[in-house]
Amino acid sequence: MIAVERLTHRYGAVEVLDNVSLEIPAGGFVGLVGPSGCGKSTLLKVLAGLLVPDSGDATIDGRSVVGSPGRTAYMPQRDLLLAWRRTLGNATIGAEIAGTPRRQAESQARTLLGRFGLEGFERAWPAELSGGMRQRLALLRTFLCGHDVLLLDEPFGALDAITRRDMHEWLQQVLADDPRTVLLVTHDVEEALVLSDTVIVLSDRPARVVKQLSVELQRPRESDVVTSKPFVELKASLLEALRTGRT
């Protein structure tokens, strides 16, 4: 379980997080939406152990992660692929850092290449991949980190709408087979609703929690769920919350 308690942070004079608290049960999927620049990535960096907040705490299974990286699988907003490593080498970095034997890491990566649409590109350099492929490779790298908690910062941001829908269905399948605890940051309200158990809406900077919404739609949610009546109602209330969060 992830618990964020009263996080407050500022960069110099810029207040970014204002008393943010939230909880994600083990195996849960929380979507985090909020206006651009409100502090979503900052919150993820705290959970990844990369940024020490001014005050407040963040724990995973009761242990604080503040200032102690290496306990989550973090996917930053930019893909940050290493130009000097081929697809397979990029996919297995996390495993390599964790000390997994290379062969084992590579065979594990190979079995997933197909599902991530990277089949046949295992020896390609990042410069030879399309934007969507780069994003999927970054996602694969995150999955292979070997941690229960996934912190995903706009993982599908660079994908076209069609691929994005496919990825939504695909991600639900993958998580059904291999459950993880996920915190997903997104700009896309529909994406948050399709994927999440709970959607949390943040206000403009400094970010406060404006609304927390349970999404009780049956899984698996197919792409046509977005036109169903309950979905449309949930979406309306999310958009309303986003509006009230603007200053």
Binding stretches for ligand ATP (CB under 6 A):
11, 14, 16, 34, 36-42, 77, 205
**What is the contact mask toward another protein in residues 120 to 159, using x (rule: CB under 8 A)?**
----xxxxx----------------x--------------
> Taking a C-beta distance cutoff of 8 angstroms, is the pair 207, 39 a contact?
yes
What's the burial of 180, exposed, middle or buried (CB within 10 Å: 0-12/13-18/19+)? middle
Q: Of these partners, Mg ion, another protein, ligand ATP, none, which one is at the site of residue 125 (CB under 5 to 8 Å by kind)?
A: another protein
What's the burial of 125, exposed, middle or buried (CB within 10 Å: 0-12/13-18/19+)? middle
Q: Of these partners, Mg ion, another protein, ligand ATP, none, which one is at the site of residue 76 (CB under 5 to 8 Å by kind)?
A: another protein
Q: Is 48 in the site for another protein (CB under 8 A)?
A: yes
Q: Is the peptide bond before 101 cis (omega within 30 degrees of 0)?
A: no
> Taking a C-beta distance cutoff of 8 angstroms, is the pair 146, 193 a contact?
no
> Taking a C-beta distance cutoff of 8 angstroms, is the pair 217, 185 a contact?
no
Q: Which residue has the tokens 């790298």?
A: 141
- Strand, coil or helix: 240: helix
> Taking a C-beta distance cutoff of 8 angstroms, is the pair 70, 95 a contact?
no
Nearest residue to Mg ion by CB is 41
List the interface residues with Mg ion, window 24-43 (CB under 5 A).
41
The span of 69-77, 155-163, 169-177, 200-208 binding Mg ion (CB under 5 A) equals 69-77
List the interface residues with another protein, window 83-102 (CB under 8 A).
83-85, 93-94, 96-98
Q: Of these partners, ligand ATP, Mg ion, another protein, none, which one is at the site of residue 90 (CB under 5 to 8 Å by kind)?
A: none
Residues that bind another protein (CB under 8 A): 45, 48-50, 69-72, 74, 76, 78, 80, 82-85, 93-94, 96-98, 124-128, 145
